[in-house]
Amino acid sequence: MTMNKQSVVADEPPLSAEAFTARLQAIGQQFYHDKHPFHVLMNEGRLDRGQIQGWVANRFYYQTQIPIKDAAILSNCPERDLRRIWIQRILDHDGRKGDEGGIEKWLQMGEAVGLTREEMLAQARLLPGVRYAVDAYVNFCRVQPWLIAMASSLTELFAPNLMRTRIAAFQRHYSWVQEAGLRYFISRLDQAPRDTEHVMSLVLERCRTREEQEQIAAALKFKCELLWAMLDAMYLAYILPTNK
C-alpha cells in the first residue's frame, strides 16, 4: 500500500532550526514576487505613468486588508501575550494619533503618482483578480490555526531587500514621483525585520514535528503564490496590452 505524503512526512524527524530556516529561505528564493516580470520591469524603469498608477491603486486594496487579516488572526489566538505583540501590526497600518500608519502612507503614495484619494478609496481601478487574491488571503488567516496564519506573514523575510531595490528604482527611474510617496517603503525597512523576528522565534519554538514544519512552509508558499497572483492580474491588465 502506498502511503500518502502526509503520512510520510509525519514519520520523518523534525528539521533542525538551521535546516528549517534554510527551507523557508529556499521558498522565498524560488517563489517570492520580487522575481515577477511586473516587478522586474518596474525596477528596470520600464513602466509608464499609467502602469505605475495601476500598480499603486491595486496594491492599495491589499494594504487596506492587512489590518483586517491581522484582526482575524487575533480572534483565533488564545494567548494574551502574543495578542499584545501582534496588535502592533494593526496599529502600523491603521495608524493612531501622531502616527498616520501604513494605509495613510499608501494614500500619499497614490497622490505622489497622480491618483486622487477619492478614486483609491472608491477602489475605482481595482482589478477582479487582485480582489480575489487578497480576499483569499484574508479568508486563509480567518480559518487557519493562528500559528499557521501568522507564519504566512514570513514573506517579510524577503521584503527589506525588495523595498531597498524599489526605493532605489523609484529614485533613479521615476523622478516624477514625489519623494513623500516613498515613505511607506522606508517605514517597512524597520517594521518588516521586527515582525519577522517575532514570527520566526514562534515557529522555531512551537513547531516540534516535521509535519508542523511542513504546514508552516506551505503557509509561506501560499502567501508567495498569492502575491504572485496579484501581479499576474496587473501584468495581464497593464503590460500585455502594450506588447500587442
- Residue 6: inside a domain: no
Q: Output the pLDDT for position 4.
A: 47
Quick check: 233 and 58 in contact, CB under 8 A?
A: yes
Dump the DSSP string for 96-143: BTTB-HHHHHHHHHHHHTT--HHHHHTTTT--HHHHHHHHHHHHHHHH
What is the domain-level CATH number for residue 94? Answer: 1.20.910.10
CA 122, 226, 105, 199 dihedral sign is positive
Q: Output the pLDDT for position 10.
A: 67
Q: Output the pLDDT for position 180.
A: 87
- Residue 137: inside a domain: yes
- Residue 8: inside a domain: no
- Residue 5: inside a domain: no
Number of compact structural domains in the chain: 1
CA 114, 119, 71, 69 dihedral sign is negative
What is the mean pLDDT, run by run of 10 residues, along the chain of 244 residues?
48 95 97 97 97 98 98 98 97 91 96 97 97 98 98 96 96 94 94 95 96 98 98 97 74
3-class secondary structure, 226: helix
Tell me the C-alpha distance between 149 and 144, whole Å. Answer: 6
- Residue 1: inside a domain: no
- Residue 7: inside a domain: no
- Residue 111: inside a domain: yes
Quick check: 95 and 102 in contact, CB under 8 A?
A: yes
- Residue 143: inside a domain: yes
Place of cell 491603486: 57
Residue 221: give the domain boundaries: 18-243
